[in-house]
Amino acid sequence: VVLDNPAATKIVTHGKSGLVAHTIDECVSFLRQLVQTPSLRAEMAAKAVGEAQTRSPARSANAFVALWAGLVAERNSMQVKQYA
C-alpha cells in the first residue's frame, strides 16, 4: 500500500502489484483489507515480485544513459544541419 504520489505510482500498479491510496483513511482501509484477505495479499505480492524482477538500478541507469545519448546525437545532428 502506497500513498498516491508520482514516485510511488511509478512503482506500484493499483490492484495489480499493490494498492494506491488517495487518503490516509483509504490507506488504513487497504491495509485492513490486505490483513483480512491473505489470498489477495499473496496474489499482489507475487505480482509485485514479478514486476520488481524486471527493474533494477542498472537497468534504470542504462535507460537514462541511452536517453541522454539519443538527445546528444539529436542535438549534434541539428547543429550540423544549421550550418550545412
pLDDT at 5: 93
Dihedral sign, CA of 63, 59, 4, 42? positive
- Checking if the pLDDT of 12 tops 60, the result is yes
pLDDT level of residue 83 (50, 70, 90 thresholds): low
16-69: pLDDT as tens digits: 999 999 999 999 999 999 999 999 999 999 999 988 888 778 888 888 899 999
For residue 55, the model assigns a pLDDT of 78
The candidate with the shortest Cα–Cα distance to 6, out of 20, 18, 16, is 20
pLDDT band at 84 (very low <50, low <70, confident <90, very high): low
